[in-house]
Every structure is written in structure tokens, then in C-alpha cells.
Structure 1
């Protein structure tokens, strides 16, 4: 009798071990299955959601195949239990376990938004309004309201935000991005101001920003920035008007249709540097770091004029007579290009 009981117990233990081995192999197969996706996908785990919720979402999307033994996953793979809230990117070829570990580590997907040097604040607002994953806190706020929220004393934000690429995660706000852009600009401007040339016709860092924004709009060629800066600095030192078209365009606002006419050059606005003396009241665009540095460390030159060369760059001259010749050469090139 005892022998029979021993055999029965042995069989029960053996069956249990087989069942345990099978269950473990099934859980392993489940967690090691590759995700059924052909391209990168995003998944958002909201606060309060559990591992079970994440698995259910992926199963509903068809990314994984369910398994009755999945309930044993927390016991056999305890390292995947504590997933964090956030938005994550999963990749073709990675396993369910790898995807879950990304969530456990909180390695959230980084969205990006890129602002172009020379762009305006109105364009930034449009970009932010269309950006995915952002909470739109500035919607309905005026530019002055946003400036106040950034701790900025100026009511216009033109020129006060650094144009570059910013990374952010799901749930950050457009105001968070603007704060970072403002802090970055302030940091770069302060550094450049500390190493500025002596005897510049610029009394404040804000004036340097105004000049930098004009430089930004006048040339996209890195090697020309310091020379363009020198022209404007020389004109300011001589009391000459800057006479730069981008300021006229900015002052025209919505009236600008792509062309500047002779009457536009003589129509007074606070920004028309063909009419006003010195710098306009605010920057006219978001300058990049190199334009800020150029404004505060211009090339040493005697140039007072420049005009497009027709070949992508500019011709710099020291006298009005030389400038007029350069203008005539440019117009000849334009006519020749149109006839070809």
C-alpha cells in the first residue's frame, strides 16, 4: 500500500514539474515573441495603468499574440512589472520583453521640433500649435502674456528665442519649449556680450539682438556674417541709415506681398531703416548663435554697402559709386538669367 502511495505521489510530483516546466516555457515563448509591426510605433501608458493594461493594448493592436499563461508573467519575470507612464516607441524586430523593459526604465520617446533661423514668432506659434504630444498652454494668450509667463520684460518675443531643434516628451507644454528657447538665447547672448568688441555702437544686449536679427535676414552664408555685420556697424558709427530691406518688409506686416516698391521704401514705419535713424525698435526675426556672435564681433572693414552678387553671395563696397556699379552688374546678371 505504501509503495503504491509513493508511486502516486511521485507521479503527481512529476506531473507538477512537467506542468511547471510547460507553463514556464509558454511564458518565455510569450515574452520573447517578436513584435508584429513593420515600422516604429508609439504607445502611450497613462498614469495608473498596469502591466496588464499595456499587454492588453498591444494585443488589441495586433502587435503581440495573447497566451493563457500570460497571467504568470509577473511571477516569472518580476523585472517587467513596474512600467512607467509615458509615450514609448517600439521597433520592428524587438521582443515583447525588450519593449516592456523600455517602459520599466522610463525611456520615453523624444519628439522633436525645429525652428528655423530667421523665422518669426508668429511662425513659431503655428509650429507649436501643430506639434504632436504637446500640451497647448499658450493657446488664446497674447504675445505679451506669453512674454510675461517667460519672465521677459519686453512684450514682443521676436529675437528673444533661440532657433534650433528641441526635444520633448509627451505631456510637455508649448510653454516649456518656449522657456527653454528663451533661456538658451539668454545664455548665448550673455556669453557673446561678455566677449564683444570694444567701442561698438550698441549700448545693450537687446540692441545686439536687433542687429543680429538683421544680419540673419540679410545672409545665410556663414562666411559673410561678420562682414555684413561690419557694414551695419560702420554705418551706425558714421550716423548713416541702415537702409536694409528686411526691416522694411517686417514693418509692412501683412501688406507685404513678396515685392518691395519704391513707395514702400519711403513709407514711414518704426522699422523702415530707409526713413528712421539707427536700429529699429525690436528684432525682426529669431537670430541664430552665429549671427549674435557676428553682431558683437564684426569683421574689421571699411565697407559701407553690399548687394547680391547674383551668384549666391554679396559684393561689398566702400563707396556709393562702387556700390552703384555693383548694383548695375547685378541687374545685368538678372536680365541675362531671365533671357536664358
Structure 2
């Protein structure tokens, strides 16, 4: 179907043609173009040059027909392209919806696994340690040393389980909100990277974003700082998470930025890892903007801006 804009353009073009024809008719009636052409071409009567106006009329008619055919074909092609773009947009929306469902299922599975680790394995490790401590005082030196080793191994396993639970599902995120969870995780990262100075800025209301956005920001922070600890060799990392406005604003969005002064990378020669691809897909799935800025020796900067939907802002 033709849009109103297309119809307006068509009638506008026809009006221009009509005005030009009328102006040409008035002009030629004043300068008597036909008489002038007849007088100028009488000497070449044998060559039938005086029939040139008729030939020009036929040529103009043919060119007009040719232009109309091309115009009709072009409009048909534009309509096909519009239909294809509409279908592509629908497919992209469907793909985004499926990706959101997959993410919800993935996070639900992680939450269930973290709960099982905490309730089952964590509790049994505590019980093993409690039993070992209770019998340690009743044993001789050699046996007490063996029990001490059991207690140390239990403490180590308990720390490993605690880290796994933190990676699978941050407890603070469910209990205290995004800001407290980020502060707790960033403090943990600072202890894990004592040689890297970390500056943190958390602005705005970050505790009413909804579960999907909470998890997205937390996972972005996790992945980004994991990359810093593994690859960046940075002396300073700046973390900034801010919300642009109150929840009632239509343009409400969360801005996420992590940058370091490490060795950087050449994204042209180096393919993006699965971590970066997953981060980009997570942001784009929520309708956000994703940008990576880096270069050899120029550090690494990750930027994301994710809109906060009014309907899904509150948990």
C-alpha cells in the first residue's frame, strides 16, 4: 500500500510538471518557436529536418514512458523492501523475547543450584567441621593433627562452595538489592586484586530496576572484572553505574561503564571472546546500547546504556 507521504510526493511531482508545461506553452507562444524552427530549417528541407519537433515529441514521450516504467519498478522494489524490513523487525522482536525467556530459565536454574549447594553441601561441610572440632580435644597429638587437617580441608571446601554460590546467584542481590550486592562484590574484587586500585561510583535509585535488569548489571560487572583480573594487568579500574532519572520518567535508563588502564587489545585482529559476546547480547536483549573502546596499550572500556521500562521497573 502507498503511504500518505508517497501519494503527496506523486501529486506534487505532477503539479510541478503541469506548471512547467504551462510556463513553456506561454513562453513559446511569445517567441513563436515553431515559426522560427520552420524558417531556420527550410534550407535543409531535403533532409526533412523540419520534422525534428515531431521526432522530439516522440522521443520525449518514449523517455516519459521509460521513466514511468522505471518509477513503477522502483516503487515495487521499495514496497518489497518495506515488507522484508517489517518481517525482519518482527523476527528480531521474537528473537529478543526468546532470549529473555532463555535468560530467565538460566537464572532460575542457577538460583536452584546455588540453593542446593548452600542447603545440602554447605550444611554437611559445617556438620563435618563441627564433628571434627568436637572430637579433636579427646585425641592424642598425632590424631589431633590429622583432625586439624580435616578441619582445614573442610574450611577450604566451604570457601570454594561459597565462591561458587556467589558466582551462581548473589545472595545479597535477592536480600539487599542491586546497590548493596554490587558494593559487596566490588569489595570482594578489591581484596582479590590488591595491586589494582579501584574507584567506584554508584548513583541513582538502583534498587527498583526489576530482576532482569538487576541480574544484567550484576553479570556485566562480574564478567568485566573477571576479564580485568585475568587479562588487563591494570593499575586502576573505574566502575560507574548510574540511573539517569526517577522511575516515572519515560527516558529512564541505567548507564554502566567499566574502564581500566591495562594493556588493552586490538579488536580487529583479535576476535571477541565469548564473555564479550555474551555481555553484548545481554544488553541488546534488553534494548540497550553496547560499546567497547580499546586498543593496544590504551586500556579497555565497556559502556552500556539500558532503558528501564516503566512496567517492569519495580520488582
User: Based on CA coordinates, which of the two structures has the bigger radius of gyration?
Assistant: 2
Higher helix share: 2
The alignment's TM-score, normalised by the length of structure 2, stands at 0.24
Larger RCO, structures 1/2 (Cα 8 Å, 6+ apart): 1
